[in-house]
């Protein structure tokens, strides 16, 4: 029997659920507080005609064929492998740390086997890896930890590496070869016409009504829906009854350089030690757009503002579990997405989680 669903949030989690439910004949009302769809993946042309990501750089990467094929129904892709340099000791060096990083930083000429031995020698052998500090020390040792990770992490999270769960720093691999790609996934692409265009196609089914600038929780209180899917911050849903679940925010400083065709050698340059911002991204690298000027964004981490990141550390996980226990008893509501599940998910992981929810609700699996 078809139902009438309310979906709160039109990011990846909400849009995937909406698309799947509508395809099975359900009516879907999807609401977002913001004036646009696509959540944090939203992209738009700035006033100079350059496609930018207002909420920071988004690069799609996945190892999941199912997720890639699912999204491929709504977009063509542009092959793009993201590369990042970190400004350390006045030089721009590859991050993730690889053979080139070590050779350039220390003025060495190590072969791949030498680089492997070098890393093995400097890394700290630990019996137990619990924090992000443990991860970095056991991967690259003290000096590289201080130069590439300690300062960046302090800026990004307002916390020391030792105060964050292992998963945060474990996102960044260590390599003894010359592979300088930021991600190691088998599939790395950008949606050819951008994310917003892809979302428009996902939400094109006439069974879906999109309402922007709308608080979905207000609609929930007023409306009569057979089921609700909530993708916003978990603590907000419960009116912060158990106190704040910490999320990290960012301030984005966008800039257009009208006479610079290309500013950076690669898409992103990280600033682990100097500057207040963590990184500068130049969008034309990601999108492949041709333009006589260029548009960039600097990311300044901050405590207050839109919730962008869950903060993975044991006390926050404990608070999340308290909220989750409440969520589990909430009748007729499913919680999914990076904010609602309080997981440091990439886009593909959110798509995967949403597909699981949709399968359960439609009885597909
Ligand atoms: P969101 O995109 O946050 O969507 C949730 C939506 O819910 C929001 O639009 C919000 O307005 C809305 N909402 C909340 N409460 C309400 C309410 N009460 N009523 C109505 N609407 C509400 N992932 C990658 O894979 N690759 C990357 O390169 C990458 N880069 C990133 C860079 C930055 C700076 C950030 C912050 C994230 C990045 N991510 C990246 C992660 C990616 O943004 C997320 O995984 C994904 O967008 C999460 O989708 P979501 O639907 O769970 O949440
Ligand atoms: N990190 C770091 N130095 C870097 C890049 C990353 O210390 O040059 C650490 C930092 O703690 C960061 C985490 O690794 O928050 C994850 O980095 P990623 O680039 O995946 O963060 P995101 O793109 O999600 O902001």
Q: Where are the domains of the chain?
A: 4-37+203-244+311-362, 84-171
Q: Environment class of residue 84 by beta-carbon count within 10 Å: exposed (0-12), middle (13-18) or buried (19+)?
A: buried
Which ligand places an atom closest to the C-alpha of 37?
1
Residue of 58, 182, 230 best suited for mutating to test ligand 1, as the one with most atoms within 8 Å of CB: 58
Q: Among 225, 206, 203, 207, which Cα is nearest to 216's?
A: 225
Q: Is the pLDDT of residue 364 over 80?
A: no
Per-residue pLDDT at 1: 58
Confidence at 2, pLDDT banded by 50, 70, 90: confident
DSSP states of 70-121: HHHTT--EEE---BEEEEETTEEEEES--HHHHHHHHT----HHHHHHHHHH
Q: How far apart are CA 225 and CA 345, in angstroms?
A: 28
Q: How far apart are CA 10 and CA 34, in angstroms?
A: 9
CATH topology classification for 4-37+203-244+311-362: Rossmann fold (3.40.50)
Which ligand places an atom closest to the C-alpha of 58?
1
Q: How far apart are CA 85 and CA 67, in angstroms?
A: 29
Enumerate residues 6+ apart whose C-beta is below 8 A from 179.
Answer: 98
Task: Using the structure block, give the residue that is written with the tokens 């190892």.
Answer: 63
The ligand 2 atom nearest the CA atom of 132:
11
Give me 265's structure tokens. Answer: 């050698």
Q: Mean pLDDT throughout 238-252?
A: 98
Report the percent of the chain where pLDDT is more than 90. 98
The mean predicted confidence, pLDDT, of the chain is 98
Residue of 92, 154, 169, 302 best suited for mutating to test ligand 2, as the one with most atoms within 8 Å of CB: 169
The answer to whether residues 294 and 257 touch, using CB atoms and an 8 Å cutoff, is yes
Q: How far apart are CA 71 and CA 61, in angstroms?
A: 12
Per-residue pLDDT at 258: 98
Tell me the sheet residues that pair with 270: 86, 279
Give me 261's structure tokens. Answer: 């065709």
Confidence at 365, pLDDT banded by 50, 70, 90: low
- HSE at residue 336, side-chain half, CA atoms within 13 A, is 28
The answer to whether residues 20 and 358 touch, using CB atoms and an 8 Å cutoff, is yes
Q: Is the pLDDT of residue 81 over 90?
A: yes
Enumerate residues 6+ apart whose C-beta is below 8 A from 246.
Answer: 310, 311, 316, 319
Q: Tell me which residue has its CA closest to atom 48 in ligand 1.
A: 338
pTM attached to this predicted model: 0.98
Q: How far apart are CA 176 and CA 179, in angstroms?
A: 8
Which ligand places an atom closest to the C-alpha of 195?
1
Confidence at 140, pLDDT banded by 50, 70, 90: very high
Q: Mean pLDDT throughout 228-250?
A: 98
Q: How far apart are CA 322 and CA 230, in angstroms?
A: 17
The answer to whether residues 123 and 105 touch, using CB atoms and an 8 Å cutoff, is no
The answer to whether residues 153 and 121 touch, using CB atoms and an 8 Å cutoff, is no
Q: Mean pLDDT throughout 67-91?
A: 98
Q: How far is the CA of 89 from the centre of ligand 1 (A)?
A: 34
Confidence at 82, pLDDT banded by 50, 70, 90: very high
Confidence at 3, pLDDT banded by 50, 70, 90: confident
**pLDDT tens figures, 199-235:** 999 999 999 999 999 999 999 999 899 999 999 999 9
């Amino acid at each position: 029997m078809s139902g009438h669903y309310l979906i709160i949030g039109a990011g990846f989690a909400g849009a995937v659920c909406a698309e799947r439910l509508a395809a099975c004949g359900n009516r879907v009302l999807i609401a977002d507080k913001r004036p646009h769809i696509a959540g944090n993946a939203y992209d738009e042309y700035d006033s100079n005609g350059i496609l930018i990501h207002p909420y920071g750089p988004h690069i799609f990467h996945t190892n999941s064929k199912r997720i890639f094929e699912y999204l491929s129904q709504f977009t063509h892709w542009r092959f793009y492998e993201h590369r990042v340099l970190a400004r350390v000791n006045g030089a721009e060096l590859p991050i993730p740390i690889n053979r080139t990083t070590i050779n350039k930083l220390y003025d060495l000429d190590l072969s791949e086997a030498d680089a492997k031995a070098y890393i093995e020698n400097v890394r700290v052998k630990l019996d137990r890896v619990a924090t992000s500090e443990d991860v970095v020390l056991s991967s690259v040792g003290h000096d590289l930890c201080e130069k590439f990770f300690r300062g960046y992490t302090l800026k990004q999270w307002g916390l020391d590496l030792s105060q964050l769960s292992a998963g945060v720093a474990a996102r960044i691999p260590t390599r003894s070869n010359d592979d300088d790609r930021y991600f190691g996934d088998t599939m790395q692409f950008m949606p050819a016409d951008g994310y917003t265009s892809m979302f428009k196609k996902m939400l094109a089914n006439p069974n879906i009504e999109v309402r922007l600038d709308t608080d979905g929780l207000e609609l929930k209180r007023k409306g009569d829906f057979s089921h609700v899917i909530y993708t916003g911050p978990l603590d907000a849903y419960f009116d912060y009854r158990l106190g704040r679940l910490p999320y990290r925010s960012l301030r984005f400083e966008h800039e257009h350089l009208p006479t610079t065709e290309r500013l950076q050698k690669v898409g992103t340059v990280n600033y682990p030690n100097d500057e207040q911002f963590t990184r500068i991204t130049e969008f034309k690298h990601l999108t492949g757009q041709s333009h006589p000027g260029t548009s960039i964004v600097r990311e300044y981490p901050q405590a207050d503002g839109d919730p962008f990141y869950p903060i993975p550390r044991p006390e926050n996980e404990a608070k999340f579990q308290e909220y989750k226990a409440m969520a589990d008893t909430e009748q007729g509501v499913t919680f999914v997405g990076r904010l609602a599940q309080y997981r440091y998910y990439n886009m593909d992981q959110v798509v995967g989680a949403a597909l699981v929810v949709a399968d359960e609700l439609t009885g597909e699996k």
